[in-house]
């Protein structure tokens, strides 16, 4: 993985990025020594290097049980309890693989919304399918996930009988607290623990991400190896200029301080759409607080050049762009030659599709820079487990450093409670009587 900030540095005062080095070092030191705000949620810091081959084997053994007994596995979870797995599985999967018969179960995601049609249609689909469930919730009480699990548990038990259902329902939750733990213990489900000191959005390298990724048939040992190598590259004793997470954190903060408040993550591979979704949660939830924080947005290019491209090129100059560039495709396809050349495309005949994509990427970068958009480029060699593992740890470490430079606690999310309180009051949840009364008054 490489980071190139040359087309971003020219947008800030000379030396502005380097001037942040003391803050970067202080942030890294505070993360390492556990002296920063949110220091009870630093379990992600040395998570990759703490994962043992035995633990990977246990995850793979559980994945095998689900693979052998299920045509589909529903991952029930929301926010940090599903975005990481979804991002990795999408990045590694054949885009149209779901249209073909597969040796591994189809992975479906639910519990991340409260759409009645979504859930009805899921249940309808599962009626004819042997399915299992991975129920993921750190708190064990999240409404979206809990409603979904209630529906799926009943359906799985009706389909297979209670005893057989137990074999294909796995819980990933807190060691002691929450309804998901109570249910798992009472029903005797195989379960994995989400460590107390790892927050949801930093949990992809715990069983939260690793089990669904293993069930989908991917090499979680290689994913973890990528993260381990990046953990070393981002260590405290590595000089700032050689530490990609430090470079990223300093650059985006220097740009933010220069007045640009929105960071757009752009990819040129449709498989990376959900990398943007995962990254938005990681950075948005970590930094958007106390009236501060870069707003993280994402676009899929070249697709969105035909929609958002206008705004990026020419709208209010409050944005900067971080491009994820994949150096080599995993397959090979060239533009065919055509004797009649009716479409006038013979100038591309014989060129790889990826060469056209790369010229679109370069042309767009130059155009956006000309249009006043600072550009950070992050390149990975190819889409595989190792490279995605590197990206995961790079973005996590960059986020921790960046949030501390910004002066917030990157590891809490007090803002997400506001909607829950109102929703529970409106639904008359026991314990919310006073809030219920107050909200009814407000709605009069």
Instruction: Assess 289 for contact with ligand PA5 (CB under 6 A).
Output: no
Nearest C-alpha neighbor of 270 from the set 295, 240, 300: 300
Contact 180, 135 (CB under 8 A): yes
Contact 194, 184 (CB under 8 A): no
Question: Taking the complex as a whole, how short is the minimal distance between the CB of residue 41 and ligand PA5, in angstroms?
Answer: 9
Contact 28, 249 (CB under 8 A): no
Which tokens in the block code for residue 304? Answer: 């969105």
Binding ligand PA5 by CB under 6 A: which of 90, 285, 300, 361? 285
Query: Catalytic pick from 100, 186, 306, 444?
Result: 306
Segment lying near ligand PA5 (by CB under 6 A), choices 132-140, 257-265, 372-380, 392-400: 132-140
CA gap 227, 211 in Å, rounded: 16
Contact 372, 259 (CB under 8 A): no
Question: Taking the complex as a whole, how short is the minimal distance between the CB of residue 136 and ligand PA5, in angstroms?
Answer: 6
Number of CB atoms found within 10 A of residue 302's CB: 16
DSSP class of residue 423 equals: H
Question: Taking the complex as a whole, how short is the minimal distance between the CB of residue 138 and ligand PA5, in angstroms?
Answer: 4
Tokens 């009626």, residue?
A: 127
What length does the chain have? 444
Binding ligand PA5 by CB under 6 A: which of 62, 145, 251, 387? 145
Contact 133, 170 (CB under 8 A): yes
Number of CB atoms found within 10 A of residue 165's CB: 21
Binding ligand PA5 by CB under 6 A: which of 62, 137, 183, 402? 137
Give the 3-state secondary structure of residue 108.
strand
Binding ligand PA5 by CB under 6 A: which of 50, 139, 313, 346? 139
Segment lying near ligand PA5 (by CB under 6 A), choices 79-87, 287-295, 307-315, 349-357: 79-87
Contact 90, 278 (CB under 8 A): no
CA gap 204, 212 in Å, rounded: 10
Tell which phi-psi region holds residue 322, choosing left (phi > 0), alpha (psi between -120 and 50) or beta.
Answer: beta
Nearer CB in complex with ligand PA5: 145/269: 145
CA gap 256, 260 in Å, rounded: 5
Instruction: Assess 199 for contact with ligand PA5 (CB under 6 A).
Output: yes
Nearer CB in complex with ligand PA5: 78/404: 78
Nearer CB in complex with ligand PA5: 111/132: 111
Instruction: Assess 181 for contact with ligand PA5 (CB under 6 A).
Output: no
Segment lying near ligand PA5 (by CB under 6 A), choices 38-46, 134-142, 232-240, 315-323: 134-142
CA gap 198, 285 in Å, rounded: 14
- Say how far residue 189 (Cα) sits from the centre of its chain: 27
Question: Taking the complex as a whole, how short is the minimal distance between the CB of residue 386 and ligand PA5, in angstroms?
Answer: 25
Number of amino acids touching ligand PA5 (CB under 6 A): 14
Instruction: Assess 201 for contact with ligand PA5 (CB under 6 A).
Output: yes
Question: Taking the complex as a whole, how short is the minimal distance between the CB of residue 189 and ligand PA5, in angstroms?
Answer: 16
Nearer CB in complex with ligand PA5: 62/81: 81
Active site residue 273: no
Which tokens in the block code for residue 289? Answer: 């607080």
Active site residue 437: no
Query: Catalytic pick from 25, 273, 420, 429?
Result: 420
Nearer CB in complex with ligand PA5: 111/374: 111
Question: Taking the complex as a whole, how short is the minimal distance between the CB of residue 415 and ligand PA5, in angstroms?
Answer: 11
Please, is 346 exposed, middle or buried when counting C-beta atoms within 10 Å of its C-beta (0-12, 13-18, 19+)?
Answer: middle
Instruction: Assess 410 for contact with ligand PA5 (CB under 6 A).
Output: no
Segment lying near ligand PA5 (by CB under 6 A), choices 47-55, 127-135, 197-205, 261-269: 197-205
CA gap 3, 240 in Å, rounded: 13
Q: Which helix (H) or strand (E) holds 264?
A: strand 262-267
**Alpha helix positions (H), 141-242:** 143-160, 162-167, 179-187, 207-215, 220-233
Query: Catalytic pick from 144, 263, 277, 285?
Result: 285
CA gap 60, 122 in Å, rounded: 26
Question: Taking the complex as a whole, how short is the minimal distance between the CB of residue 296 and ligand PA5, in angstroms?
Answer: 14
Segment lying near ligand PA5 (by CB under 6 A), choices 61-69, 77-85, 241-249, 401-409: 77-85
Active site residue 289: no
Instruction: Assess 142 for contact with ligand PA5 (CB under 6 A).
Output: yes
Nearer CB in complex with ligand PA5: 108/353: 108
Binding ligand PA5 by CB under 6 A: which of 48, 80, 244, 288? 80
**Residues in contact with ligand PA5 by the rule CB under 6 A:** 78-81, 137-139, 142, 145, 199-201, 285, 413
Known catalytic residues are 285, 306, 420
């Amino acid at each position: 993985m490489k980071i190139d900030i040359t087309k971003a540095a020219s947008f800030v005062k000379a030396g502005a990025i380097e001037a942040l080095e003391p803050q970067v070092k202080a942030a890294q030191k505070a993360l390492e020594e556990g002296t920063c705000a949110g220091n009870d949620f630093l379990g992600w810091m040395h998570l990759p290097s703490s994962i043992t081959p035995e633990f990977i084997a246990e995850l793979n053994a559980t994945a095998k049980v689900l693979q052998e007994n299920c045509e589909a596995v529903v991952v029930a979870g929301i926010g940090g309890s599903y975005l990481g797995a979804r991002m990795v599985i999408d990045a590694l999967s054949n885009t149209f693989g779901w249209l073909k018969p597969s040796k591994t179960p189809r992975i479906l995601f639910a519990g991340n919304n409260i759409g009645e049609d979504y859930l009805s249609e899921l249940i309808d689909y599962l009626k004819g399918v042997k399915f299992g469930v991975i129920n993921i919730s750190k708190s064990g009480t999240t409404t979206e996930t809990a409603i979904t699990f209630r529906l799926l548990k009943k359906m799985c038990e009706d389909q297979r009988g209670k005893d057989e259902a137990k074999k294909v329902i796995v819980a990933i939750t807190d060691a002691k607290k929450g309804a998901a733990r109570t249910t798992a213990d009472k029903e005797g489900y195989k379960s994995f623990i989400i460590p107390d000191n790892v927050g949801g959005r930093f949990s992809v390298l715990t069983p939260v991400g690793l089990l669904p990724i293993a069930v989908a048939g991917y090499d979680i040992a290689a994913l973890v190896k990528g993260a381990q190598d990046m953990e070393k590259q981002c260590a405290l004793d590595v000089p700032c200029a050689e530490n990609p997470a430090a470079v990223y954190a300093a650059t985006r903060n220097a740009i933010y301080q220069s007045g640009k408040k929105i960071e757009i993550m752009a990819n040129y591979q449709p498989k990376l759409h959900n990398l943007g979704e995962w990254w938005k949660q990681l950075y948005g939830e970590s930094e958007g607080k106390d009236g501060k924080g870069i707003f993280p947005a994402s676009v899929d290019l070249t697709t969105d050049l035909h929609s958002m491209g206008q705004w990026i090129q020419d709208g209010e100059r409050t944005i900067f762009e971080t491009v994820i560039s994949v150096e080599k495709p995993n397959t090979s396809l060239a533009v065919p030659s055509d004797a009649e050349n009716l479409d006038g495309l013979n100038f591309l005949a014989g060129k790889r599709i990826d060469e056209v994509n790369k010229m679109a990427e370069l042309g767009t970068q130059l155009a956006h820079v000309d249009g006043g958009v600072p550009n950070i480029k992050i390149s990975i060699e190819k889409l595989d487990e190792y490279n995605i593992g590197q990206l995961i740890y790079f973005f996590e470490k960059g986020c921790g450093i960046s949030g501390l430079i910004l002066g917030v606690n990157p590891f809490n999310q007090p803002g997400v409670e506001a909607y829950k309180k109102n929703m529970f009051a409106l639904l008359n949840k026991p314990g919310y009587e006073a809030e219920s009364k107050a909200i009814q008054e407000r709605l009069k």
